[in-house]
Amino acid sequence: MAKIVCVLYEDPVTGYPKSYARKGLPYLDRYPGGQTLPTPGAIDFAPGELLGSVSGALGLKKYLKRLGHKLVVTSDKDRPNSVFDKELLDAEIVISQPFWPAYLTATRIAKAPKLKLAITAGIGSDHVDLQAAIERRITVAEVTYCNSISVSEHVVMMILSLVRNYIPSWQWVVKGGWNIADCVARSYDVEGMHVGTVAAGRIGLAVLRRLKPFDVHLHYTDRHRLPESVEQELNLTFHPDAESLVRVCDVVTINCPLHPETENLFDARMISKMKRGAYLVNTARGKICDPKAVARALEKGQLAGYAGDVWFPQPAPRNHPWRSMPHHGMTPHISGSSLSAQARYAAGTREILECWFAGKPIRNEYLIVDGGKLAGAGAHSYSAGNTTGGSEEAARFKAAARGGSKGKRKKK
């Protein structure tokens, strides 16, 4: 019998949904490029249900119970002696989502002698100290591609919202106004702008493809160059590094993983190299940008807007500068957790577990660390090291919440 600790975000404040806005989800069987969607032997959920919160339990409860395994599901992950900390001590498997990351630091790994597998139900395993996982020979796997398209849609939405000044205009309506001049004084067309992505992997390339019909000039930088045919099809300008890209772009979107090479890549120096009045959209990871440098650049007009859904740590402290800086379009970390994406990453998590319990290999494209080294997608897109430093700050969100909204959450 294995013990599995699954850390998920909290249920809605109104309670676990009893009905949904839409029935079911469109059917997809392949991602762009041909990779198949997850292929578990079976699933115990209806696609379109809320699976990423505690009561949804990624649809794993019945399956793990049938096999006689012990499943602990919690959202309590950051305070000292959290449920996560206590249950981790004798766990074999940890499952976590980047949206509500269970930071698997070296200290936590050292306290979990039985831990063998860390699954990211989503994409991006930077909440795991990969160096420590390599040294302890813990397998780290994620559900590659499960929400890449979801995020690319969100990026396009955020670029359009910032450039066209959507959120402040919506706010005027809600406030009862009809303030055209206030709304349009910061509103532009995207057409004709230079838009660049830092990384053209699954998300970055999907963003480029989606933006092509807007008649913009497209740019990218990446560690590996895209095939010439793709560069020609999308009329892409390749840049050898991020700095050369940001110098010429009106809009920059960040789509690389967080690893030691990309941590703090957008610091005050890099932002100062951007065109004055550029827009920056980051749905990759909060730690790729220096929070104070971003806020200062918005205040001074170096950036015209910043949007994204990723912060550090998560949940972000109540006084995080990105909550209150001007001209921002931030959301909590949601772009990769649409109900559509949840169905895919819940199925992918189940597929990984089925392989693990049957002693079969996990798909190579799902692997980040295996056999004491970076493997699969991890070997291609990450560099070894640790990016979890400072994650203990996430405890400050709950500490502040206990003073404010205590007792408001409705139990299922």
User: What residues make contact with ligand NDP under the rule CB under 6 A?
Assistant: 122-124, 147-148, 151, 198-204, 221-224, 255-258, 261-262, 283-285, 309-310, 333, 335-336, 377, 380-381
Nearer to ligand NDP (CB atom), residue 165 or residue 262 = 262
In the complex, what is the shortest distance from the CB of residue 63 to ligand NDP, in angstroms, rounded to a whole number? 24
Nearer to ligand NDP (CB atom), residue 122 or residue 348 = 122
Nearer to ligand NDP (CB atom), residue 169 or residue 349 = 349
What one-character DSSP code corresponds to residue 100?
Answer: B
Task: Give catalytic status of residue 364 as yes or no.
Answer: no
Residue 73 pairs in a beta bridge with: 6
Buried b (16+ CB within 10 A) or exposed e, 357-369: eeeeebbeebbbb
End-to-end CA distance of the chain: 28
3-class state of residue 226 by DSSP: coil
Distance between CA atoms of residues 51 and 95, nearest Å = 13
Distance between CA atoms of residues 37 and 317, nearest Å = 35
Distance between CA atoms of residues 183 and 181, nearest Å = 5
Nearer to ligand NDP (CB atom), residue 234 or residue 400 = 234
Record the tokens describing residue 398, joined without a space: 């709950």
Distance between CA atoms of residues 316 and 333, nearest Å = 10
Nearer to ligand NDP (CB atom), residue 117 or residue 310 = 310
Nearer to ligand NDP (CB atom), residue 163 or residue 199 = 199
In the complex, what is the shortest distance from the CB of residue 205 to ligand NDP, in angstroms, rounded to a whole number? 8
Strands (E), 311-375: 328-330, 367-370, 373-374
What one-character DSSP code corresponds to residue 30?
Answer: B
Residue with CB nearest ligand NDP? 201
Considering the candidates 97, 147, 282, 342, report the single residue annotated as catalytic.
Answer: 147
Residue 171 pairs in a beta bridge with: none
Considering the candidates 239, 333, 350, 396, report the single residue annotated as catalytic.
Answer: 333
In the complex, what is the shortest distance from the CB of residue 200 to ligand NDP, in angstroms, rounded to a whole number? 6
Considering the candidates 165, 255, 314, 342, report the single residue annotated as catalytic.
Answer: 314
Characterize the bridge pairing of strands 70-74 and 93-96. Answer: unpaired
Task: Give catalytic status of residue 264 as yes or no.
Answer: no
User: DSSP readout, 227-268?
Assistant: PHHHHHHHTEEE-SSHHHHHTT-SEEEE-SPPSTTTTT-B-H
In the complex, what is the shortest distance from the CB of residue 156 to ligand NDP, in angstroms, rounded to a whole number? 13
Q: Please, what is the angle between helix 148-164 and helix 166-174, to 10°?
A: 70
Residue 93 pairs in a beta bridge with: 4, 117
Nearer to ligand NDP (CB atom), residue 64 or residue 330 = 330
Task: Give catalytic status of residue 259 as yes or no.
Answer: no
For residue 197, which phi and psi values (nearest 5 degrees)?
-115, 135
Considering the candidates 285, 320, 327, 396, report the single residue annotated as catalytic.
Answer: 285
Task: Give catalytic status of residue 235 as yes or no.
Answer: no
Q: How far is CA 226 from CA 233, 234, 258, in A?
A: 11, 11, 20
Strands (E), 157-201: 194-198
Distance between CA atoms of residues 112 and 394, nearest Å = 21
Nearer to ligand NDP (CB atom), residue 52 or residue 59 = 52
CA angle 253, 297, 272 (to 5 degrees): 75
Distance between CA atoms of residues 197 and 145, nearest Å = 18
Active site residues: 147, 285, 314, 333
